[in-house]
Amino acid sequence: MDGSFLIGGQAVTSSETFRAVDPATNEALDTDFAVSTKEHVAQACKLADEAFDSFRETDPEDRAAFLEAIADEIENVDGLVQRAMAESGLPEARLTGERGRTCGQLRLFAKLLRQGRWAEVVVDNAMPDRQPLPRADLRQRRIAVGPVAVFGASNFPLAFSVAGGDTASALAAGCPVVCKGHPAHPGTSVMVARAIANAVKKCGLHEGVFSLVQGTSNELGAALVTDPQIKAVGFTGSRAGGLALVELAQKRPEPIPVYAEMSSINPVVLFPDALKARGADLGKGYVGSLTLGSGQFCTNPGVVVAIDGPELDTFAEAAVEALSEAQPQVMLTSGIHKNYDKGVELLSGQGEVKTLARGAEGTGCNRGRAALFETTGEAFINNPELAHEVFGAASIIVRCTDFDQIAKVLEGMEGQLTATLQIDEGDHEEAAKLVPLLERKAGRILANAWPTGVEVSYAMVHGGPFPATSDPRTTSVGTAAIERFLRPVCYQDLPDALLPKPVKHDNPLKLPRIVDGERE
Residues 6+ apart with CB under 8 A from 246: 258, 260, 470
The number of helix segments (H) and strand segments (E) in the chain equals: 14, 25
The one catalytic residue in 98, 207, 261, 311 is 261
**C-alpha to C-alpha distance for 459 and 481, rounded to whole angstroms:** 11
**C-alpha to C-alpha distance for 275 and 317, rounded to whole angstroms:** 12
What does the longest C-alpha to C-alpha distance in the chain come to? 82
Q: In a 3-state reduction of DSSP, which class is residue 107? A: helix
The one catalytic residue in 298, 311, 414, 430 is 298
The DSSP code sequence of 412-425 is TS--EEEEEEE--G
The DSSP code sequence of 127-145 is BTT-SSS-B--EEEEEEE-
Q: Which residues pair with 138 in a beta bridge?
A: 124, 492
Q: Which of 278, 273, 218, 276 is nearest to 247 (CA)?
A: 218
H or E stretch at 287:
helix 272-291
**C-alpha to C-alpha distance for 282 and 278, rounded to whole angstroms:** 6
Active site residue 261: yes
CB 178 within 8 A of CB 224: yes
Catalytic residue numbers?
261, 298
